[in-house]
Every structure is written in C-alpha cells, then in structure tokens.
C-alpha cells in the first residue's frame, strides 16, 4: 500500500476509524510512524482483535472436565485418555478464496495445520466446510473446482488425511463464498506448548520460509472489510503456500520442541510478524526488541512496513532459552529452513523494532493487543423476518409423486453425493482413518492407542437465516448427533462464525442470536467451545450479506475405535428402527426449497434434553455392539436418510414410517430434529428397544433391509440402482 504522510486520511485508508486514530495519537502522544500505523491497523482489525464479537464470545461455555486449554491459544486442547490430548480448531479463509480460489483455499489449509503443530501436536486429520452460489452458474463451478483443488493439493502434498466436511450451495454465497478449514492433531498432555514470549533476555528465533510481499494487509483490508469492485484486483494480497516446505517446518518445529529449549512458540499467520510477536509478548506480560535486518527475506528492497505486515506462509517464531539458540538453529538447519535470531525478550512491555539501525517502531504492547477497542454494535431484527417465518401447512400442495420427489431430492446439488470432492483428497495417509468421508462423521484411530476420535462439521444456513437462535442450536445438536451415531461421545466444539458486516444492525442481531443459541445448546449438551474464529464482512456492496453461517466443528471420543458404526446398511435382513419423534414440520426444509422454491417457515423445534438422551443411547448401543449401522436424520428427512443408508451399502429397504396422522410430506421429508435411523441383527432388536426405553428415546421398528428397491410407505417405491446413479453422479455431471 503506497502511503505518503501519516495522517487521518492514511489511517482511514488502513481501515481505522477516526475515533481509533485519535486513540492511537493518545496512546503514543505523537504521530505514529508508517510501520506503527500498519501495526495498529492489523492488530485492531476485526480479523485480529474481534472488536465487534469479543463481548459476545465471552458468553460461550468454555470449560469442561476434559478441557485443558480453551479459547485464547492457537487451538483448543482436550484430554482423551492414555496421557494424550486432541488439539483442534476451525478457521476461515473466505475472502482470499473468492479472490484466488486455489491459493486461498490451499493457504487456509496451511494456516490451520500450523495452528495445530505450533502447540506441539502432530496433525492427524483435516476437514473443510465450503459454500458457494448456485452450481448452475459457470463462475461458481470455477470457484468450486479451484477451492477443492487447492485443498487437495496442499493437504495431499503435506501428508495429512482430509476426511470430512460440508459442501452447500445458496444464492447468498454467489459473491462471497465460504472456505472454512479444520484440523485435528494429537499431542502428549505434558508436551503442549503455548504462545508466550517468556524469560527476559531469551532470544526470539525466526524459522521457516523467507518473507516476501505476499499477503500484506490480508487481515486488515481483505478479511476485515466487505467486497467492492476493487476486490477482484486484490490477488497480490493472497498468500502463496508451499506444502512441501510446510511439511519440513512441521518436522523442524516438533524436533525443536522435543529438545526442551523452546519456551514459547507462535506461527506467523494473519498479520505475520506483527500479530505473532504482539500476542506472544502480551500473553507473557513482556516486551520484545526486534531487528528487521535479521529477518530472512526473499525480495530486494523490502521496507520495515512490508516485513512486519507480510503474511508469507510457512513461518514460525520461537522463544528459546538463552544460550541454547545455536542448538535449535543447527537442528532446524537439517530441514534446509531459514532459522535465525531476530530479537530478544525484554521486561518493559514495549515493542521496539529496529531497521538499518533506526528505531521504526516503539509502542506499548498491551494497548495494541490485549486492550484493542471493543464495541457494542447496535442490533435490530432484520426487516421482513417475521413474515418469512410464517408458513401455513395448508398452503403446501399435496405431493402427488413421493417417489419422484425423493429422486429429485437425491439428485439435487444440496443432497447428492459429495464423492466428486472427497475422492480428490488423500483420506488414508498416516493409516489412521477408520470411517472415511461420505457418512455423518469421520472416525480416526488415535496413533499409539485403541481410542478413536470422531469429527464432523455442520451448519444449515437456511435454518440460521430464518431463525438464528434456533438455527445455531440445531447446528450444535446436529454436529453432536453426527459424532454420536458413530458411537463417539461428544467432547467439545470449535466454531467458525461467518457473517456479514457487523456495522449493520441486522447483521449484528443475527450474530448475537446465533451466539446465544450456540451457548445454550453447548451448555445443555455439555460440549464446551474450546477454539474458533469469527469472520465478518462476508458480503459484497450492493448485493447483501451471506446467510448467517455459524459452522460447528464437533469432536467426539470412542473408547475403542473398532466400535465405530457406519451409516451404510451392512447386511441383508437386518431390522431397521427410527429413533426420535417425527413432528409435522416442513418449515425451512430442503423439500420446500427444492420442490417449491420456498425458503419460508421456522426450522424444526429443538429439544436439547431429548438430543442428549439420543446421543447417550447411541454411544452405549455402539459400545455394546448392538448396531450394524446408524445414520442421522437431517436435510431431506427420513426418506433421504434411509435412501442414503441403502445406496451406501448397496442394500435395499422396505418398510413404513410412523405418523399416520401427519402429512405425507412431513413423514417422508420433514426435518424434525433429534432423530436417527439404525439397523441391527433381528436377534438384537429386543435389547435395542430395552436400551431405548432406559434412555427415554422413542424407538419404532420401521422395516428391514434387503432387495434391490427402496420402498417406503407412504408412497415411495424406487429402484436402488436408479437412486444410486442419480445421487452419485450429479456433481460430476455438472463439474466434469
């Protein structure tokens, strides 16, 4: 960014408000230098400071019996037994992926990987939640192809299995796609490292790729503002990743941590050297002196401003015990990575940066980091929301062809198979994958242990748009249900909260309502939020905001990974049961959207007590080896869930759904929450029903597996082959 004199206009060009610039002048007692202005702009950006969301995030439950470290660290950490812990987090890389889909998505994966191994954990599994505009549009297909290739190229080359996620389409993402990346790693509980610049006099080491000009102001101006006509020209602000260097950085980092010489570590992500150094110093209550002449650069003539704000990938900052820096430098040199001392820790709480012998930055740490502005933005319910929530069942025409409706839903972009996506990912590297993509949740075997971890990402944006509070509750409930159907006990949550411009009262209202719903659901289900990310300004000027999208990443634990239950029917002649209560609910459903083009009504009722009972039943049933399959009911309802289990197992189904007094559409395609379909050996039915009674879970035998058709009373009789071909081929038909 070319800037002349540092003044109010320059501050505005950096995304700072007039009031914020006045506050900077008050803090410093003088006009800031250009590097100092850049530092304030990135550290006080929405992306780094959470200035519009911080007060509301504080209302989320973050503590629990398994939580070792919650929000505030690079990732959340929960104990999983055997002296091990799971480290996990989800983050957004939305705007960069819209500007340059391949590089944006790839570096999103790289960034979340570093968040995990910065804490001493070895990455085990990646997931992604990606959302686009209508697939019928050529540009959306271009974006989808680029994003998927970026995720695949980085994850496959790095060597971490990509095992699950979400893909959805909605006109609201046409001009602002979402790319949320999640990673899970494993660490010994006594080998966890934190982002603290501790120990006065200790050296500060730079490790990894050389610093270039890529990514400058990605955090403050690309990720903390909405799109306008200039956004398409912002490719130079998108970072370029190198997964092979990242793999070397992983090994060098973990090796350095094993020496015992490292006392603090932080990856260089958003805002690069600036954010990492300020956060480490703030966390430890110390200061830092840094010499930019010692920072390895890959371009000639880089200014202090550029070096401090560069978001070049594959870089780390380490604080090492004084006297042991040469040991760490020599060790890291084995991986052919730049590693050098660039500063030291001080006791005065200030950040001093020198370049060419001149002090270019001299500012206090805490007003920049811990004491950044916090806002209580105005809130107002969106106009017309109450009208859109209205839906009279009598308005809905009777479905004359239930079988045709089922095939239509199965072949829709919203519900068809995602195999075109996940078949591009290496799902098996490291040989820990137990349940692969395509079901409700992936299950990974914990290396060196019999335990398993189930992971899932979930959010229904239509629910959240029509009722943000209830929609967020349903996102948490479904994510927990998705890991529970595998037999895993839900442990904890990471979230990626994607919204429009928080300066608009209706957007802030949606955000607060979603956080409130999430907090209530997480408290009721006892799944604390241990990490996450807020992504605001997901909108294009004149085109409106994305639907509110609070993506939930859920982690669950199995005592025995071998007990994991898949979603596919597993044997002919098994008994199939429906768990939970079916209500006459069609509001906000995929059926209405696909068949009638309606996005109206309120999402299904949430009964969190019933959800918890269902999840406890599923975990105990799996541990008791009572189940052959289990599948969550969500978008598309019971008919779609039964069809997915049949198609995935290549085994037909014949049976009847309960609820004779309900509308046919609600019985087949209603999306009542708190439900699952399970199958078991007929000899185990009595035991399953007894366990359901003990947990207070409604359970009904609805049919049996077998044959080459899917027959569901009322009104569905379709061929298994036809359903399979329509469901499995849609994405490839449209994209290949």
Question: What residues are annotated to the active site?
Answer: 47, 93
CB atoms within 10 A of CB 323: 11
Q: What are phi and psi of 318, to 5 degrees?
A: -125, 140
Tell me how far apart the 2 most distant CA atoms of the chain are, in Å: 82
How far is residue 198's CA from residue 192's CA, in Å, rounded to a whole number? 15
Radius of gyration of the chain (CA): 26
- Tell me which residue has tokens 């990912």: 425
DSSP H stretches of helix in 485-557: 505-525
How far is residue 351's CA from residue 282's CA, in Å, rounded to a whole number? 10
> SS3 of 687, please?
helix
Kind of pairing between the strands at 178-188 and 84-92: antiparallel
Q: ∠ CA 305-298-274 to the nearest 5 degrees?
A: 35
Q: What are phi and psi of 684, to 5 degrees?
A: -100, 0
138-158 helix and 720-735 helix, angle to the nearest 10 degrees: 90
CA dihedral 499, 368, 352, 73 (to 10 degrees): -60
How far is residue 578's CA from residue 250's CA, in Å, rounded to a whole number? 46
For 285, residues 6+ apart whose C-beta sits below 8 A from its C-beta are 349
Sign of the alpha-carbon torsion through 431, 432, 435, 438: negative
Question: Across-strand partners of 71?
Answer: 73
How far is residue 499's CA from residue 528's CA, in Å, rounded to a whole number? 22
CB 43 within 8 A of CB 369: yes
How far is residue 574's CA from residue 263's CA, in Å, rounded to a whole number? 56
The separation between the first and the last C-alpha atoms of the chain, rounded to the nearest angstrom, is 40
What letter does residue 595 receive in the DSSP assignment? I
For 214, residues 6+ apart whose C-beta sits below 8 A from its C-beta are 236, 237, 238, 239, 240, 310, 311, 312, 313
CB atoms within 10 A of CB 496: 27
> Which helix (DSSP H) or strand (DSSP E) does residue 483 occupy?
helix 468-484
* Token pair in block for residue 528: 């604390």
How far is residue 707's CA from residue 86's CA, in Å, rounded to a whole number? 42
What letter does residue 293 receive in the DSSP assignment? G
CB 86 within 8 A of CB 453: yes
- Tell me which residue has tokens 């958003």: 270
Question: How many angstroms from the chain centroid is the CA of residue 619?
Answer: 24
CA dihedral 134, 139, 143, 146 (to 10 degrees): 140
Q: 3-state secondary structure string, 678-720?
A: EEECHHHHHHHHHHHHHHCCCEEEEEEECCCEEEEECCEEEEH
CB 104 within 8 A of CB 93: yes
Burial of 388 (0-12, 13-18, 19+ CB in 10 A): middle
Q: What b/e readout covers 163-188, taking b as 16+ CB neighbours within 10 angstroms?
A: bbbbbbbbebbbbbbbbbbbbbbbbe
CB 483 within 8 A of CB 435: no
How far is residue 723's CA from residue 711's CA, in Å, rounded to a whole number? 12
How far is residue 125's CA from residue 648's CA, in Å, rounded to a whole number? 23
């Amino acid at each position: 960014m070319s800037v002349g004199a540092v003044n109010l206009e320059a501050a505005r060009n950096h995304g700072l408000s007039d009031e914020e610039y006045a506050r900077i002048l008050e803090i410093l007692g003088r006009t800031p230098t250009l590097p100092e202005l850049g530092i304030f702009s990135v550290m006080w950006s929405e992306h780094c400071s959470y200035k519009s969301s911080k007060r509301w995030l504080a209302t989320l439950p973050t503590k629990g019996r398994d939580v070792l470290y919650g929000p505030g660290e690079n990732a959340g950490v929960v104990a999983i037994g055997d002296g091990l812990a799971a480290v996990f987090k989800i983050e957004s890389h939305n705007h960069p992926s819209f500007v340059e889909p391949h590089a944006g998505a790839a570096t999103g994966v790289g960034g979340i990987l570093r968040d995990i191994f910065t804490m001493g954990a070895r990455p085990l599994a990646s997931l992604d939640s990606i959302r686009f505009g209508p697939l019928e549009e050529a540009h959306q297909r271009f974006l989808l192809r680029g994003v998927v290739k970026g995720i695949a190229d980085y994850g496959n080359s790095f060597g971490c299995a990509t095992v699950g996620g979400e893909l959805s389409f909605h006109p609201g993402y046409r001009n602002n796609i979402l790319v949320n990346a999640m990673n899970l790693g494993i660490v010994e509980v006594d080998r966890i490292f934190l982002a603290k610049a501790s120990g006065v006099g200790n050296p500060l080491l730079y490790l990894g790729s050389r610093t270039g000009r890529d990514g400058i102001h990605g955090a403050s101006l690309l990720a903390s503002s909405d799109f306008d006509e200039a956004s398409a020209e912002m490719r130079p602000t998108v970072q370029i990743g190198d997964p092979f260097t990242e793999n070397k950085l992983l090994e060098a980092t973990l090796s350095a941590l094993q020496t015992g010489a490292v006392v603090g570590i932080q990856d260089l992500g958003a805002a690069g050297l600036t954010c990492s150094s300020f956060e480490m110093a703030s966390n430890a209550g110390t200061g830092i002196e840094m010499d930019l002449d010692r920072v390895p650069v890959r371009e000639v003539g880089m200014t202090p401003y550029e070096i401090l704000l560069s978001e070049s990938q594959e870089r780390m900052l380490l604080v090492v015990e004084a006297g042991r820096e040469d040991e760490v430098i020599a060790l890291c040199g084995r991986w052919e990575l730049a590693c050098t001392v660039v500063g030291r820790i001080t006791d005065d709480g200030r950040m001093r940066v020198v370049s060419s012998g001149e002090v270019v930055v001299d500012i206090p740490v805490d007003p920049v980091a811990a004491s950044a502005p916090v806002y209580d933005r105005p809130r107002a319910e969106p106009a017309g929301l109450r009208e859109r929530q209205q839906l009279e069942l009598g308005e809905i025409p009777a479905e004359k062809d239930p079988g045709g409706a089922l095939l239509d839903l199965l072949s829709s972009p919203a519900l068809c198979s995602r195999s075109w996506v996940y078949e591009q990912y290496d799902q098996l590297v490291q040989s820990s994958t137990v349940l692969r993509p395509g079901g409700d949740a992936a299950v990974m075997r914990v290396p060196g242990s019999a335990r398993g971890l189930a992971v899932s990402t979930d959010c229904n944006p239509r629910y959240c748009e029509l009722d943000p509070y209830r929609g967020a509750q349903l996102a948490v409930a479904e994510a927990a249900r998705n890991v529970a159907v595998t037999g895993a006990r839900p442990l904890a949550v990471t979230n990626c909260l994607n919204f429009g411009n928080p300066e608009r009262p209706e957007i802030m209202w949606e955000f607060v309502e979603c956080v409130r719903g999430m907090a209530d659901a997480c408290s009721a289900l006892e799944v604390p939020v241990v990490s996450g990310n807020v992504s605001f300004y997901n909108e294009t000027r004149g085109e409106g905001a994305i639907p509110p999208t609070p993506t939930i990443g859920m982690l669950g634990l199995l005592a025995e990974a071998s007990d994991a239950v898949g979603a596919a029917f597993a044997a002919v002649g098994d008994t199939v049961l429906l768990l939970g209560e079916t209500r006459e609910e069609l509001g906000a459903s995929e059926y209405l959207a696909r068949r009638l083009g309606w996005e109206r009504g309120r999402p299904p009722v949430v009964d969190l007590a019933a959800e918890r009972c269902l999840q406890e039943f599923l975990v105990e049933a799996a541990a008791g080896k009572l189940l052959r399959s289990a599948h969550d009911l969500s978008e598309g309802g019971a008919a779609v869930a039964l069809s997915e289990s049949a198609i995935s197992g290549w085994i037909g189904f014949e049976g009847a759904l309960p609820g004779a007094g309900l509308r046919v559409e609600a019985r087949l395609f209603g999306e009542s929450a708190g439900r699952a379909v399970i199958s078991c050996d007929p000899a185990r039915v009595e035991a399953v029903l007894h366990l359901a009674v003990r947990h207070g879970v409604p359970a009904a035998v609805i049919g049996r597996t077998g044959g080459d058709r899917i027959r569901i009373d009322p009104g569905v009789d379709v061929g298994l082959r036809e359903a399979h071909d329509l469901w499995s081929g849609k994405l490839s038909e449209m994209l290949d």
